[in-house]
Structure 1
Amino acid sequence: MREKILTHSAELFLTYGFKSVTMDDIANNLGISKKTIYQHFDNKTKLVEATTLHMFDVISHGIDCICELKKNPIEELYDIKNFVMEHLKNEKSSPQYQLQKYYPKIFSTLKSKQFEVMQTCVTANLERGVKDGLYRNNIHIDFIARLYFNGMVSLKDQDLFPLTHFSMNVLLENYLEYHLRGICTDKGNQILNKIINQTKNQ
């Protein structure tokens, strides 16, 4: 039952936001009583915390699986972006922004965990890209990996990028191209152009 509550809560939080969804909404959606939810989670804050960590684990595992395929590093970044978008429902309700605003401690914990995963993943991606001749061999890998993470976090700042002006998909597409244009060799740019053209024609 605990797993079921987490899955349904994640679905509701991603669709309507952490602030908007109540314990009643979750109970009604599951067709159970609030009492059943409280048997597993003391309060909404505990449920939000467990749900965000559950979503983090699911997405981290998916990213690990993509990285294990050892595709070329540029394709890998686009596959990760598509996977994340699929699981975060285009973030219409800006859940990460709401999490930061209403549950700052949970947000801070999540951000640290995201940094650990992304730092490892992006560093490996950059190293492989340099080795394969797709990224310039004079890039500062640790600096770019940290910059990339910081940029990803900034995209979720509703004051900077209101969803009324930008969809999360458009933001990620533009940011990924911006990141890659700065580090790609001619060989890398050829692959990047091909992927961008394929995306436009889909």
Structure 2
Amino acid sequence: MNFSKEELLANISDLFLTYGLRSTSMEDICNYLKISKKTLYHIFENKDDVVEQVMLYRLESIRKRTTPKKISKIGPVLVVYDIKKHIIENLNSRMPANYFDLKKYHPEVDKKIRTEKDKIMKSVLKGVLCVGIEEGFFKKEVDMELQMLLLNRQLSFLEELERPLDTDYPVPLLISTIVDNFILSISTERGRKEFENIKKEEKI
């Protein structure tokens, strides 16, 4: 079958989310895509290369969904709220296990992905905050660097979900509370009203 590079990475990403990084071999990828090993190794050097490119593809898809133009169209408060929902929905997939496997079995790739992930998430959040401030949803005096640092640090426990958390609170509630508090802490009165409307509509 003929795939574009993006289609190829999307399919392999689905495979990793179904069976995990560790459990998916190069042969499994070939069988799933119905391509020869020769073809696969012409595109990727090895398993590490596959994993790295798939992880970068996932990060790039986040960037594409959160351009300033799209943020303005959707609304900055809703964009942050949707990111929260996306994170919570991923808890029921093998996404957390993928990151655990990445750290344990592909440590060098993990270092690269963490660095790139930090850059992309910082870029996405900065874009959301800039649009939100410009449109009056977020406070002008917000220290963006500090807020982004705090949010990233608070959500960093997601990368350790293979280990039990020392808390009685369910993980989805923790994530929801962290992101909701983030939104409320940076919102103007207009932003708070928008936030409350989003929550009301979700309950309908």
TM-score range, shorter chain: 0.7 to 0.9
2:57 pairs with 1:51: no
Distance 1:131 1:59 in 2: 22
Q: Which amino acid aligns with 2:144?
A: I
Distance 1:160 1:183 in 2: 31
- Look up the match of 1:100: 103
Q: Which has the higher contact order (CA 8 A, sep 6+)?
A: 2
Distance 1:49 1:2 in 2: 17
* Aligned partner (choices 94, 97, 115) of residue 118 of structure 2: 115
Name the SS of the counterpart of 2:66 in structure 1. Answer: helix
**What are the residue-to-residue correspondences of 1:1-202 with 2, within 5 Å?**
1=3, 3=5, 4-64=7-67, 67-81=70-84, 90-94=92-96, 95-158=98-161, 159=163, 166=170, 172-201=175-204
Superposed CA RMSD in Å reads 3.1
Q: Is the CA contact (8 Å cut-off) linking 1:126 and 1:135 kept in structure 2?
A: yes
Name the SS of the counterpart of 1:147 in structure 2. Answer: helix
Cα shift at 1:47: 1.2
Distance 1:125 1:2 in 2: 30
Cα shift at 1:23: 1.7
**Distance 1:64-1:138 versus aligned 2 partners, 3 A rule:** closer
**Distance 1:103-1:138 versus aligned 2 partners, 3 A rule:** same
| 1:2-60 CA-partner distances (Å, limit 9, x unpaired) | 72542221111122221121222212212233333223223211211122122222232
Which residues of structure 2 form unaligned runs of 5+?
none
**Distance 1:35-1:53 versus aligned 2 partners, 3 A rule:** same
Distance 1:129 1:69 in 2: 8
Name the SS of the counterpart of 1:18 in structure 2. Answer: coil
Distance 1:69 1:136 in 2: 16
Q: Which amino acid aligns with 1:43?
A: N
Cα shift at 1:144: 0.5
Question: TM-score under structure 2 normalisation?
Answer: 0.77
Cα shift at 1:122: 1.6
Distance 1:76 1:171 in 2: 19
Question: TM-score under structure 1 normalisation?
Answer: 0.77
Cα shift at 1:69: 3.6
Distance 2:129 2:164 in 1: 27
Distance 1:161 1:60 in 2: 30
- Percent sequence identity over aligned pairs: 25
Which residues of structure 1 form unaligned runs of 5+?
none
**Distance 1:113-1:93 versus aligned 2 partners, 3 A rule:** closer
| 1:113-163 CA-partner distances (Å, limit 9, x unpaired) | 22222222322322443444433444322111222233333323213659x
Cα shift at 1:100: 1.9
How many residues are treated as equivalent by the alignment?
197
